Structure 1
């Protein structure tokens, strides 16, 4: 591939298979958690470790759970009272050593049931959690890619298991999704031309979505900021009409992620209104669209977050190369953020 960031991206399908193998060995742990009868759950993490739980959060909400998700930094200081003895607290951190995660663990009562999801079995998170679930993927050479995918997989596995879905059924859906990921990456050479024709970014990049697609929008902002150092904002499609629409003009740039058939008509209507005011919108969808668009393989909506992020990862690389930036190389930060 020529650079570590793209190598990490193309390795994601294989790394998910490694993650799945580990999950198969952790079924008894999840069944023990399920037997405790919790119906309230809070997911928390920082950055992509927060956004990776959006699918699981929504899945459990549809199953009748009180399912919440907070940035760990906000949970510590603004929403800590939401964590009660009836709460199943899921803390996600690839390193298990993020400053906010360690601070939260120090603050929690021992009566709280904590599930730690991490890629580091020797981490503070793994050692201080009531239960640990491991990602089991190779650490990235660049910004978060494989561990983001693993975070989606582990949280979704947990959510489905708590709802009575068997490991076999979860595995069947994920393996089909992995094949779709491989298809997308194999076809990326063909649609990369569309990506390379993306306008030069002189202003803010907007990422728009609803539901699970909004999770991809949030994660996408991290890729644009970290990989290509582009100012980017994630917004719900519905919220965009309530004020932000005023920023649309001939210099406006957005990526619209739309895979939910129930709201696709609403998203398409927003697309037409933005283009009607001169704005540029690039579409990522599993449905046929007018150009410019990347059409993804159709999959079950609970697995869509694995697919929709890949074009954004590659677009961030193309923009970085246009700017003469080495993709995914940290300038001011580092792989693990230990300070608050």
Structure 2
């Protein structure tokens, strides 16, 4: 076991701890934001960050849209330099930074302070972001020393709890689904060698990784692409699936692995064409889904429990973490 996997495995205790905190002693934090959002009649939510903090935000935008709340996900740099016209007094801006000190996030927060309401999501409570935001949502993930993993997971969880509270959906059904997700993650991490070994063997001799998804699972595709590049120094590409079908699929060949994150297989022509193309060109696919899929020579499914789509990324990234960790080898240390 290397340092990355050791830290990843701490999520089996950290996720339930953070969930319980925001259900009990810290619930007032998300409730105050939800009450403020509804009292002030905000007309949209803008979620910003950089890197993993930015990617996590994709997990909740479709849920917000389904509840009639427009939302945007932009890098803090993009928003400040090119899209400030998106912000007015009716925009709730959620600034996410694990360190609380990402300079792009801080510059944006300084610029908009006093002009609209800013929510800060961060892990480092000594970071400057905690001083610039109107509402504070600490991640309580503890010190992270390896490639980003547990702070990303906690961001997914806290974002879900926040938006469900805003939409008056933070009910028993939601909480029971979160518990299903946490139990699944804990089981995988407790038995990570046995769970990950089929993925490891399947990935032997891979030279190129494509990560593709749609909607909420774009969080996973982008985060997984980042950690494989950062850890393995691998050639990776993360893309929205329909866009992948416009030329990116032509890279499929022997020693190619496509990791597809499709919580629900929609049965579209695009899905079928891309899967058949990759397999037809001797590529391999690991397919993450809640639907039943039969294993094939070059197609390995990872079947997830059925929960609402915004929660699925919390599970999807766990096998990616342990696979990347095992590919790094026993002695790896950052």
TM-score w.r.t. length of structure 1: 0.88
**2:44 counterpart of 1:43:** no
What residue is the counterpart of 2:261 in the other structure?
Answer: 257
Residue segments in structure 1 that go unaligned for 5+ positions in a row: 330-340
Instruction: Please state how far the C-alpha of 1:79 moved relative to its aligned partner.
Output: 1.7
Aligned to 2:305: 297
Match of 2:10 in 1: 11
Contact 1:22–1:134 (CA under 8 A) maintained in structure 2: no
1:258-273 paired onto structure 2 within 5 Å: 258-262=262-266, 266-273=270-277
Give 3-state SS (helix, strand or coil) of 1:97's partner.
coil
- How many residue pairs match? The answer is 324
Q: Distance in 2 between matches of 1:300 and 1:92?
A: 23
CA deviation profile, 1:293-339 (whole Å, cap 9, x unmatched): 32233333221011111111111112222xx8725x1xxxxxxxxxx
Residue of 311, 314, 326 corresponding to 2:332: 326
1:335 — aligned with what?
Answer: none
Change (3 A) 1:262 1:187: farther
CA distance in 1, matches of 2:79, 2:331: 35
Q: Which runs of 5+ in 2 are unaligned?
A: none
How many Å separate the matches in 1 of 2:286 and 2:4? 23
* Equivalent in the alignment of 1:336: none
For residues 244-303 of structure 1, what are the alpha-carbon distances to aligned partners after superposition, in whole Å with 9 as ceiling and x for unaligned? 122223343211122124357753442122111222222222333324232233333221
In the alignment, what sits opposite 1:217? 221
Alpha-carbon distance between aligned partners in 2 of 1:68 and 1:220, rounded to the nearest angstrom: 22
Q: Which moved more, 1:264-273 or 1:21-30?
A: 264-273
Q: Secondary structure at the match of 1:96?
A: coil
Change (3 A) 1:14 1:265: farther
**Does the Cα contact within 8 Å between 2:265 and 2:289 map onto a contact in 1?**
no
CA-CA distance at 1:92 after TM superposition:
0.5
| Partner residue of 2:72 out of 68, 72, 80 | 68
Residues of 2 paired with 1:95 and 1:263: CA distance?
A: 41
Instruction: Return the alpha-carbon distance in structure 2 between the equivalents of residues 221 and 89 of structure 1.
Output: 26
Q: 1:220 to 1:70 in 2, by over 3 A?
A: same
Distance 1:8 1:265, change over 3 A: farther
- How far does residue 129 in structure 1 lie from its aligned partner after superposition? 0.5
Tell me the equivalent position of 1:32. 35
- When the two structures are superposed, what TM-score results if normalisation uses the length of structure 2? 0.90
Deviation at 1:205, TM superposition (A): 1.2
- 1:212-270 deviations in Å (ceiling 9; x for gaps): 22221001011101222212111122111112122223343211122124357753442
Distance 1:252 1:206 in 2: 8
Alignment RMSD: 2.1
1:93–1:117 Cα contact (<8 Å) kept: yes
Q: Does residue 143 in structure 1 map to residue 147 in structure 2?
A: yes
Measured against aligned partners, the alpha-carbon deviations of 1:127-172 in whole angstroms (never above 9, x if no partner) come to 1101111111212231111111110111111111111113544433
